Amino acid sequence: MGHLFNRAALALCCAGWLVATGPVLAEEAKPEPKPLKLTTTADHAKFKELQKTFNSGPEVTKACLACHTEAAGQIHRTKHWKWEYLNPDTKQTLGKKTVVNNFCISVASNEAACNSCHIGYGWKDASFDFKSEENVDCLACHDTTGNYKKPSGLAGNVVTKDMEFPPGSGKILKAIDLSKIAQKVGKSSRDTCGACHFFGGGGDGVKHGDLDSSMSAPEKELDVHMDATGLDFTCGTCHKTSSHDVAGSRYSPTAKDSKGAHLRGKTDNGNPATCVACHNNAPHKSVARLNQHAGKIACQTCHIPSFARGGIPTKMTWDWSTAGQLDAAGKQITKKDAKGRIIYESRKGDFTLGENVKPEYVWFNGNVTYTLITDKIEKSDQRVPINKIGGSPSDGKSMIWPMKVFRGSQPYDPVNKTLVTPHTAGNDDTGYWKNLNWDKAIAVGMNTSGHPFSGKIDFIKTEMSWPINHMVAPKEKALGCAECHSKDSRLAGIQGVYIPVRDNNKLLDTIGWAVVFLTLLGVIGHGAMRIVTARRH
């Protein structure tokens, strides 16, 4: 009995050995086995709930919420959902829903177009239900296929059957396969964030200057952190998100982070997206002098030598006042520059574009005050700031920051003295882009946004500042000293700080050289006389 048992055990062991070695042998024949997914604990393709045809975005969301029960509620609390933000310092109510800019100007009355970048489905006008859970768009941020698209004009909805849009245009919007996309959901990526943030202002790289599609898989030269073959940061690596609320805000930026590097276990309510949040306040190891500079100069100033470096131009100016020109046949026209880039459109006016643009530099303390539609503005030689950048050399909170300053001319109401919110996009009789009629477009737009309009229209010069944060160059490409310490300093406009060389005292130089030359003249004269008198003797 005992023997039998032993034998059986031996046989089992042998079988076990065979079984164990079997796959090894098989592996040698077939060397590359199907790998285990290590980046996630849940392969969404295996979920029954997602193995079906989805006919709309909200159907997918319902499936998501079946497991991720709290997700929509978390989203509801965020700027990305509300497009509304109360600035705690200025008490201004901001957010995309409210602010007016000098690109496409404003969202109100243009929701169907603009809100293709809203993380929801169906925001076509003020009636949108912000409490709806199924209207939250999970896929906008969690798609990994790169195929998820929300075409402009559909109020953030997706296309699940090929359709002609705008109706009668002959242009076909292709359907996307929501089932495949839903089964492949994953973490947000440069591509998902970029789907909106790279294309802000109506096209690739138009708005920010430091964000465009070249950042989806950048080389080290373009962004040392996002380098696709190197550190490969996603946006979320710095914009560390918790409860679906993405950190790092342009409405109330952290201009000076004196809190130092964030540590695990340390209670830290600071902004995790600052340079300091990882690099601390004295990051230069070998040259202490550079750490001294970091007391007054934002890291970005030296480490982002120029923006729009990825081969995609950014818009630098936009003159709406020249919009509306037609060709002889009465058709809208488009003008292009030598490189084939659009610099004039009848529906938008004149643009200028820039690549490898040197930023402008200002003192910035993180306070940004917007000129809202309710604020009075005066036409003058000074441009009206869309967002006034707070800061001074002496407030102890300001640093020297790089900015993209976007200048434009846009319609305003000269009687009520306010900016206006024109109805631009839309396949209707009042949309400016279709009919080129400011009177109708502004009347409808102002009615929608609920602000008084006198009926009079003029154009006013405005400027908007965009702090530059991305496209951080490798350290070898950071600004050299002489970029600022020279007579044609990059910081020529920065007041209130003494910058050696830039601020050489002319009088002192004149006196100094005069003393030196007089001394030289004196000794030459003295020497000459000695030579002459020596000969005479």
- Interface residues with another protein (CB under 8 A) are 31-32, 34-35, 37, 45, 144-147, 176, 189, 191, 214, 217, 219-220, 227-230, 289, 291-292, 295, 311, 480-482, 485-487, 497-498, 500-501, 503-505, 508-509, 511-513, 515-516, 519-520, 522-523, 526-527, 529-530, 533-534, 537
Tell me the residue length of the chain.
537
Complex with another protein: residue 99 or 206, whichever CB lies closer: 206
Min dist CB 58 to another protein, Å, is 22
Are the beta carbons of 447 and 462 closer than 8 angstroms? no
Q: Is 81 helix (H, G, I), strand (E, B) or coil?
A: helix
- Cβ contacts of 94 within 8 Å, gap of 6 or more: 84, 85, 86, 87, 251, 370
Complex with another protein: residue 65 or 290, whichever CB lies closer: 290
How far from chain centre, in Å, is Cα 141?
A: 15
Sign for the CA dihedral angle at 358, 362, 366, 367 comes to: negative
Complex with another protein: residue 280 or 322, whichever CB lies closer: 280
264/280 Cα distance (integer angstroms): 14
Min dist CB 519 to another protein, Å, is 4
270/251 Cα distance (integer angstroms): 15
Structure tokens at 515: 């003393």
* Total Cβ atoms within 10 A of residue 25: 9
Min dist CB 162 to another protein, Å, is 13
Complex with another protein: residue 288 or 329, whichever CB lies closer: 288
Min dist CB 117 to another protein, Å, is 17
Q: Is 387 helix (H, G, I), strand (E, B) or coil?
A: strand
Min dist CB 141 to another protein, Å, is 16
Task: Determine the straight-line distance between the first and last CA of the chain, rounded to whole angstroms.
Answer: 138
Min dist CB 193 to another protein, Å, is 14
**Cross-strand partners of 354:** 314
Min dist CB 101 to another protein, Å, is 28
Complex with another protein: residue 55 or 519, whichever CB lies closer: 519
Cis omega (within 30 of 0) for bond into 385: no
Min dist CB 502 to another protein, Å, is 9
18/2 Cα distance (integer angstroms): 24
Complex with another protein: residue 10 or 528, whichever CB lies closer: 528
Give the pairing of strands 334-336 and 314-319.
unpaired
238/271 Cα distance (integer angstroms): 9
- Cβ contacts of 164 within 8 Å, gap of 6 or more: 170, 171, 172, 173
Complex with another protein: residue 230 or 248, whichever CB lies closer: 230
Complex with another protein: residue 86 or 501, whichever CB lies closer: 501
**Cross-strand partners of 470:** none
Complex with another protein: residue 392 or 504, whichever CB lies closer: 504
Min dist CB 143 to another protein, Å, is 11
Complex with another protein: residue 37 or 77, whichever CB lies closer: 37
Task: Fill in the DSSP letter of residue 33.
Answer: P
Structure tokens at 239: 């914009």
Min dist CB 4 to another protein, Å, is 45
Structure tokens at 405: 């300053």
Token look-up 């995790």 returns 272
Token look-up 């380098």 returns 227
